[in-house]
Amino acid sequence: MSVQTRASPKNEIAQAVTIRPVQPDHLNDVRYIHATAFRSQAHTLYAPEELDAFEAMVRSTAYVDRLMSDTLLGGWLSGQLIATAAWRRAETNPGVSRITALYVRPLFERIGIGSKMLLAIETAAATAGCRLASVRAPISAQSFFENRGYELSGRGTRPLGRGMAINVIFMRKLIGSESDLDMEVCAN
């Protein structure tokens, strides 16, 4: 006896997303996604002026310059950019990747696209020789990362400009073989 199951519409959407590098001509879309996704996920945890300061930071030239120096991937659905994820090597240890800019347009949240984007950058970082993934994330993202194997390693703040900062969490996850990992990095 065979049982056929049908993929849920949510899974079908996530499966239809293609991942490829983001080019400079899509930076306005990237900024829009980052600002709206942050506001959507964090509006209950941060003050309105903190949300505004985050959006102003996203609109800054320095933010875009930093993004373009990272490996920035986009999630595309029917030709539209709907998600981003980026990573770079840690300045202090080339075996550690720093995950940056993981955002999904609010309309497409909670259907597996963020997980798909995270897996893509973890895979890229591991392929490049990184053995540990680390992330500085808004506190609203803690359960997302915990559900994907990340462990809380600390708390801190992220400067936004305008003399403002938001509370963030630091999390990490092994993405390569433990024998290759410099365990001193995990202690920091």
The reply to whether 62 falls in a domain is yes
- pLDDT tens for residues 29-66? 999 999 999 999 999 999 999 999 999 999 999 999 99
- pLDDT tens for residues 12-39? 999 999 999 999 999 999 999 999 999 9
Q: Is the pLDDT of residue 166 over 90?
A: yes
| Candidate from 9-18, 86-95, 109-118, 134-143 with smallest mean pLDDT | 9-18
Phi and psi at 68, nearest 5°, equal: -70, -15
Provide the domain limits for residue 71. 13-187
The reply to whether 3 falls in a domain is no
pLDDT of residue 8: 67
The reply to whether 67 falls in a domain is yes
Mean pLDDT of 120-140: 96
| Candidate from 3-17, 26-40, 86-100, 109-123 with smallest mean pLDDT | 3-17
Q: What is the pTM of this model?
A: 0.88
Residue 77: both structure tokens together: 């659905």
* pLDDT confidence tier of residue 187, bands split at 50, 70 and 90: very low
The reply to whether 5 falls in a domain is no
The reply to whether 1 falls in a domain is no
Residue 70: both structure tokens together: 């990272």
Residue/partner pairs of 103-110 with CB below 8 Å, 24 or more apart: 103/33, 103/34, 103/37, 103/38, 104/33, 104/37, 104/75, 105/33, 105/36, 105/37, 106/36, 106/37, 106/40, 107/82, 108/13, 108/77, 108/82, 108/83, 109/37, 109/40, 109/41, 110/10
- pLDDT tens for residues 78-90? 999 999 999 999 9
The reply to whether 2 falls in a domain is no
pLDDT of residue 188: 35
The reply to whether 171 falls in a domain is yes
The reply to whether 55 falls in a domain is yes
What's 151's domain CATH number? Answer: 3.40.630.30
CA angle centred on 21, ends 101 and 64, rounded to 5°: 45
Per the structure, the count of domains in the chain is 1
pLDDT of residue 73: 98
